[in-house]
C-alpha cells in the first residue's frame, strides 16, 4: 500500500479491500532500450475525475508523474519530457513512454480520487517495466518443490524454488489437489539476482494431517512473462505416510536407547543367572558335607 502524499491534492491511500476497483494492465513490460512502453488503467465501477500516474523505483518512495483532471494533464518537473498521458475515455487513462531508457525501469501505478482534498485514493495493481540488457537472453525459470523437514511436527512447510530466470517477471501460486491455496503462502517480495539470472522462493504451510496423505498432490506454479506471452512452469510432490509423527533421528535415538537398555538387561540377567548357579552349587556342597557328617556319626554310634 502507498501512504498518503501531498501533491496537487491531499489524499489518503486506500487498501485493496475497498469497494472501488481499478484495473491496471499489463502487469509486466520487458523491452530493449528505445522501445515504446504503454500501460493502461480502468475504473470498473466509478467515474472519478482526478486521475494520476506514479513511478516507484527500487528502494525509493513513489514519485508523482502526472495529474489528469478532465482533459488536462499536468506533468511534474522531472517528467515533462519522455512521457505522454492520455485519457481516452472518462473511465480509462493511459501512460506512454515513447523511448524507454534504463532509468525508466520501475513499477508504475495509476490512482483515482473522487475529489481533490482529503479523499481516499484508489490504486491499480501496478505495471513492472524492465529494460532488458542486450547481452542477457530471456530465460524461463526452473522450478523445484522440496518436501517439509522431518523435524516439523504440527505444521509442515513446503518450499518452492524458482531459479535461473531473466528478467524477474514471475508470480507464484500454490495448489493442493488442484485447489488454489492463498492463506498459508509466503513468497519473497523480490527476486534475488545472481549473475545474469534471478531466483525466488515461496513457502506453503499446511497442517501435518494434510501432508500425511500419500494421495494428496502439492503443486507450485510459477508464471513467467517472456516479453510476449506468460508461460507456466510447475513442479509437484505428493504427501507421505505418517510414520509415527516423529523425526527419523528421534526414532533412531529411541531405538539405540532401547537396544542399550535391552543389552543391559541381558547382561544383568546373565550375571543374576551366574549368581543363582553359584548359590545352588554352594548349597549342594553344604548339603553334601552335612550328609557325610551324619553318616560318620551313625557309624560311630
Q: Could you tell me the domains of the chain?
A: 10-131 (2.60.40.10), 142-238 (2.60.40.10)
Helix (H, G, I), strand (E, B) or coil at 76: coil
Distance CA 12, CA 5 (A): 7
Segment holding 119, helix H or strand E: strand 117-123
Distance CA 66, CA 37 (A): 16
pLDDT at residue 110, rounded to an integer: 97
Q: Which residue bears the cell 524461463?
A: 140
Cell of residue 29, nine digits = 513490460
pLDDT at residue 296, rounded to an integer: 53
Reported as a pLDDT band with limits 50, 70 and 90, residue 20 is confident
Residue 5 pLDDT greater than 50, yes or no: no
Reported as a pLDDT band with limits 50, 70 and 90, residue 250 is low
CA 85, 88, 94, 96: dihedral to nearest 10 degrees?
Answer: -50
Q: How many CB atoms lie within 10 A of CB 243?
A: 11
Q: What is the mean pLDDT of residues 173-180?
A: 97
Q: What is the mean pLDDT of residues 214-224?
A: 98
Q: What percent of the chain has pLDDT over 90?
A: 66
| Structure confidence by residue, pLDDT tens digits, 262-289 | 566 666 666 756 666 766 666 666 665 5
Q: What is the mean pLDDT of residues 124-146?
A: 96
Rounded to 5°, the CA angle 189-14-1 comes to 15
Q: What is the mean pLDDT of residues 103-131?
A: 90
Q: What is the mean pLDDT of the chain?
A: 85
Segment holding 170, helix H or strand E: strand 170-176
pLDDT at residue 173, rounded to an integer: 98
Q: pTM of the full predicted structure? A: 0.71
Residue 257 pLDDT greater than 80, yes or no: no
Helix (H, G, I), strand (E, B) or coil at 114: coil
Reported as a pLDDT band with limits 50, 70 and 90, residue 2 is very low
Residue 48 CB partners (closer than 8 Å, separation 6+): 20, 112, 113, 114, 122
Q: Are strands 28-31 and 127-131 parallel, antiparallel or unpaired?
A: parallel
- Choose between 283 and 22: higher pLDDT: 22
- Choose between 116 and 164: higher pLDDT: 164
Phi, psi of 253 (to 5 degrees): -65, -40
pLDDT at residue 120, rounded to an integer: 84
Q: Are strands 117-123 and 10-13 parallel, antiparallel or unpaired?
A: parallel
pLDDT at residue 6, rounded to an integer: 36
Q: Which residue bears the cell 560318620?
A: 296
Smallest Cα–Cα separation from 180: which of 219, 232, 129, 154? 219
| Structure confidence by residue, pLDDT tens digits, 186-212 | 999 999 999 999 999 999 999 999 999
Q: Name the least confident of 46-55, 221-230, 251-260.
A: 251-260
Distance CA 176, CA 130 (A): 32
pLDDT at residue 195, rounded to an integer: 94
pLDDT at residue 294, rounded to an integer: 52
* Distance, first Cα to last Cα, the chain: 120
Distance CA 121, CA 282 (A): 102
Residue 15 pLDDT greater than 70, yes or no: no
Distance CA 261, CA 264 (A): 5
Cell of residue 25, nine digits = 494492465
Q: Could you tell me if 46 and 114 are in contact, meaning their C-beta atoms sit under 8 angstroms apart?
A: yes
pLDDT at residue 17, rounded to an integer: 38
| Structure confidence by residue, pLDDT tens digits, 137-151 | 999 999 999 999 999
Smallest Cα–Cα separation from 51: which of 107, 95, 100, 6? 95
Reported as a pLDDT band with limits 50, 70 and 90, residue 114 is confident
What b/e sequence results for 9-48 when a residue is b if at least 16 CB atoms lie within 10 Å of its CB, and e otherwise? bebeebeeeeebebebeebbbbeeeeeebebbbbbeeeeb
Q: What is the mean pLDDT of residues 119-134?
A: 93
Q: What is the mean pLDDT of residues 88-102?
A: 95
Amino acid at each position: 500500500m502507498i501512504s498518503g502524499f501531498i501533491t496537487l491534492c491531499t489524499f489518503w491511500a486506500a487498501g485493496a479491500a475497498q469497494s472501488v476497483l481499478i484495473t491496471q494492465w499489463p502487469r509486466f513490460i520487458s523491452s530493449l532500450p528505445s522501445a515504446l512502453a504503454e500501460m493502461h488503467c480502468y475504473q470498473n465501477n466509478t467515474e472519478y475525475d482526478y486521475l494520476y500516474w506514479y513511478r516507484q523505483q527500487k528502494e525509493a518512495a513513489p514519485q508523482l508523474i502526472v495529474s489528469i483532471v478532465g482533459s488536462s494533464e499536468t506533468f511534474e518537473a522531472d517528467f515533462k519530457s519522455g512521457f505522454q498521458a492520455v485519457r481516452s475515455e472518462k473511465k480509462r487513462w493511459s501512460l506512454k513512454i515513447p523511448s524507454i531508457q534504463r532509468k525508466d525501469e520501475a513499477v508504475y501505478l495509476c490512482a483515482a480520487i473522487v475529489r481533490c482534498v482529503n479523499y481516499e485514493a484508489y490504486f491499480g495493481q501496478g505495471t513492472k517495466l524492465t529494460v532488458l540488457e542486450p547481452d542477457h537472453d530471456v530465460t524461463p525459470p526452473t522450478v523445484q518443490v522440496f518436501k517439509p523437514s522431518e523435524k516439523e511436527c504440527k505444521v509442515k512447510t513446503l518450499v518452492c524454488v524458482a531459479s535461473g530466470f531473466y528478467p524477474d517477471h514471475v508470480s507464484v501460486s500454490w495448489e493442493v489437489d488442484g485447489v488454489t491455496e492463498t492463506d498459508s503462502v509466503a513468497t519473497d517480495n523480490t527476486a534475488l539476482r545472481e549473475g545474469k539470472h534471478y531466483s525466488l522462493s515461496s513457502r506453503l504451510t499446511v497442517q501435518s494431517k494434510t501432508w500425511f496423505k500419500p494421495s494428496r498432490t502439492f503443486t507450485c506454479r510459477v508464471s513467467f512473462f517472456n516479453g510476449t506471452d506468460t508461460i507456466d512452469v510447475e513442479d509437484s510432490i505428493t504427501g507421505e505416510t505418517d510414520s509415527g509423527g516423529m523425526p527419523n533421528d528421534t526414532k533412531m535415538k529411541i531405538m539405540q536407547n532401547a537396544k542399550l537398555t535391552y543389552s543391559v538387561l541381558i547382561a544383568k540377567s546373565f550375571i543374576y543367572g551366574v549368581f543363582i548357579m553359584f548359590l545352588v552349587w554352594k548349597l549342594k556342597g553344604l548339603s553334601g558335607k552335612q550328609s557325610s557328617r551324619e553318616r560318620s556319626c551313625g557309624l560311630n554310634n
